[in-house]
Homo-oligomer: A and B are copies of this chain.
Amino acid sequence: MTAFDDLMAFQRETSALGEIAGRLGWDQETVMPRGAAPQRAEEMAAIEAVLHARRSDPRVAGWLDQADPQDQVGQAQLREIRRSYERTVKVPADLATAIARVTSAAQGIWAQARADEDVTAFLPVLDEVVALKREEGAALAQGGDVYDAMVEDYEPYTTGVQIAEIFDEMRPRLVALRAAVLDKPAPDGLTGKFDELAQIGLSQKLAIAFGYDLNTGRIDKAVHPFSSGSGLDVRITTRTSETDPFNCFYSTIHEVGHAAYEQGIDAAYALTPLGRGVSMGVHESQSRIYENQLGRSRAFTGWLYGQMKDAFGDFGIANEDAFYATVNGVHNGYIRTEADEVQYNLHIMLRFDLERALMAGDLQVNDLEAAWNDRFNADFGYAVDKPSNGCLQDVHWSVGLFGYFPTYSLGNVYAGCLYQALRAAVPDLDSQLAGGDTSGATAWLRENVQQHGGLYAPRETIQRASGMEPGPEPLLGYLEQKFGGLYGL
């Protein structure tokens, strides 16, 4: 056994324990008895303590010093293990404990403040969270940029400056596109009620159509749709609304995108650092391209229209073109998670700029609400009416997730690049999708993106797959063309 072999054997057990922690999270959101919550908190803390001890185990440092793999895969494994180890040991244990304690309390305070529409009730604990996260960021950055150090947790090898460059290019064109679209008449919305069991049935059909392997996965209902797990056990959840079946269908397709990425990774990387999606942004590129570029395309919605008529009978939409317009309707709204393709990234850029300023010390927590409302008005053209529609709408900051938001839009940007390359590689894509056949698209994504797992850095992953330096132009072109056509701009 070489040092590298020892390290990988140790790492394999750590990955297996990490999978267990993930499974507990799935259990908690789907099947756990309500009254089990206090005990579950202790169980999660116990396994997290085990994982933390392993990630910072002094033996890892020794193995890292001695290991010298000669092949590309081994070197990539070493790179990711080193990154995780160095990250873990840089943060003092008492600071990590303080963050865990304060964010746990802050989440409950946030939920109550949102219910009460009371920003001031949330600000003191948010101030604590921000202070602790800045301290953590400083420990991680070691003189470098604090916010960059945080982004590193979700989007490795990517900086705030890089993200800002991309976002600065996108914002004016998206603001203009949004204004032009909303100047036009809105398409019809759905009316009536849609049987929820039939929604579940059709969402399972959609999952299979997009290549989700139910032999190593399952679909359950949960309050918030999510995907969890890797390797041979990748589960998704969805939800139903009697009046809005699109919520169920597109949540399912989105989560199938995440799950297909995990299921598509080379089996040789299972239970290693390379055996998971390489970053949140690349993960989101998969969920978004499945959901939007493929799932909300004219071709695929034509097929879905027929499926919905089979499942629900006549539901008041006259034909495929009208259905395509309904699926892609753009409407005013305050809530990020309900936003359409045109407006979604504007919600993200707002948060990115604010959280980056918070971390830099350029924005104080007390000024957050005003800054949010000003920016919202500037981009969307109307005022935030209440905090739950404004700066209290998302859980992220309460639980210390700074640096996470921009990965959603990076995912869209990456999806734009991939989609451009995919269209060139699969010329008859539309005719396939019109028959409900995604296999040409999903096979290309598996071959060019998914199979590699963590082998390449995130931007390199997209660059290799799409054959271009990742940038916003393909996404912006796609959006302007799609919504220009839909709204007759």
Where the two chains meet, the residues of A that have a C-beta atom closer than 8 Å to any C-beta of B are 12-13, 16-17, 19-20, 23-24, 27, 31-40, 42-43, 45-47, 49-50, 213-218, 231-233, 235, 270-271
- Whether the pair A17, B47 counts as a contact (CB closer than 8 A) is yes
Across-interface contacts of A23 in B (CB, < 8 A): 24, 27, 43
Across-interface contacts of A33 in B (CB, < 8 A): 214-218, 232-233, 235
State whether A216 and B20 are in contact (beta carbons under 8 Å apart), knowing that A12-B42, A13-B49, A31-B31 are contacts in the complex: no
9 contacting pairs across A/B (C-beta < 8 A): A16-B46, A16-B47, A23-B43, A27-B27, A35-B213, A36-B216, A39-B232, A40-B232, A40-B233
Q: Report the bound CA distance from A49 to B13 in whole Å.
A: 9
Give chain B nearest CB distance to A383 CB in angstroms. Answer: 43
Across-interface contacts of A271 in B (CB, < 8 A): 39, 42
- Besides the contacts A33-B235, A42-B271, what 6 more A-B pairs have beta carbons closer than 8 Å? A16-B39, A16-B43, A16-B47, A23-B43, A39-B231, A39-B270
Q: Report the bound CA distance from A347 to B46 in whole Å.
A: 42
- Whether the pair A13, B46 counts as a contact (CB closer than 8 A) is yes
- The 8 Å CB contact of A42, one of B16, B39, B49, is B16
- Whether the pair A20, B46 counts as a contact (CB closer than 8 A) is yes
State whether A218 and B19 are in contact (beta carbons under 8 Å apart), knowing that A39-B270, A232-B38, A271-B39 are contacts in the complex: no
Each complex incorporates copies of this chain amounting to 2
Q: Report the bound CA distance from A232 to B43 in whole Å.
A: 11
State whether A216 and B35 are in contact (beta carbons under 8 Å apart), knowing that A24-B20, A24-B23, A27-B27 are contacts in the complex: yes
Q: Report the bound CA distance from A46 to B16 in whole Å.
A: 6
Give chain B nearest CB distance to A209 CB in angstroms. Answer: 19
- The 8 Å CB contact of A218, one of B24, B31, B270, is B31
Give chain B nearest CB distance to A417 CB in angstroms. Answer: 32
- Whether the pair A20, B19 counts as a contact (CB closer than 8 A) is no
Q: Report the bound CA distance from A35 to B270 in whole Å.
A: 14
Across-interface contacts of A49 in B (CB, < 8 A): 13
Q: Report the bound CA distance from A269 to B88 in whole Å.
A: 34
Q: A45's closest neighbor in chain B, by CB?
A: B16
Most buried by B among A40, A46, A216: A46
Q: Report the bound CA distance from A218 to B33 in whole Å.
A: 7
Give chain B nearest CB distance to A32 CB in angstroms. Answer: 7
- Whether the pair A20, B47 counts as a contact (CB closer than 8 A) is yes
- Whether the pair A19, B31 counts as a contact (CB closer than 8 A) is no
Q: Report the bound CA distance from A45 to B16 in whole Å.
A: 9
Give chain B nearest CB distance to A368 CB in angstroms. Answer: 37
Across-interface contacts of A235 in B (CB, < 8 A): 33
Across-interface contacts of A17 in B (CB, < 8 A): 43, 46-47, 50
Give chain B nearest CB distance to A419 CB in angstroms. Answer: 30
Q: Report the bound CA distance from A39 to B231 in whole Å.
A: 8
Q: A230's closest neighbor in chain B, by CB?
A: B39
- Whether the pair B39, A19 counts as a contact (CB closer than 8 A) is yes
Q: Report the bound CA distance from A35 to B212 in whole Å.
A: 13
Q: A14's closest neighbor in chain B, by CB?
A: B46
Give chain B nearest CB distance to A420 CB in angstroms. Answer: 34
Q: Report the bound CA distance from A287 to B22 in whole Å.
A: 33
Q: A41's closest neighbor in chain B, by CB?
A: B16
Q: Report the bound CA distance from A47 to B215 in whole Å.
A: 24
Give chain B nearest CB distance to A457 CB in angstroms. Answer: 26
State whether A35 and B218 are in contact (beta carbons under 8 Å apart), knowing that A13-B46, A13-B49, A46-B13 are contacts in the complex: no
Q: A34's closest neighbor in chain B, by CB?
A: B215
- Whether the pair B16, A215 counts as a contact (CB closer than 8 A) is no
Across-interface contacts of A216 in B (CB, < 8 A): 33, 35-36
Q: A47's closest neighbor in chain B, by CB?
A: B20
Q: A217's closest neighbor in chain B, by CB?
A: B33
Q: Report the bound CA distance from A461 to B311 in whole Å.
A: 59
Across-interface contacts of A45 in B (CB, < 8 A): 16
Q: Report the bound CA distance from A231 to B37 in whole Å.
A: 11
Give chain B nearest CB distance to A273 CB in angstroms. Answer: 15
- Whether the pair A215, B35 counts as a contact (CB closer than 8 A) is yes
- The 8 Å CB contact of A43, one of B20, B40, B43, is B20
- Whether the pair A232, B16 counts as a contact (CB closer than 8 A) is no
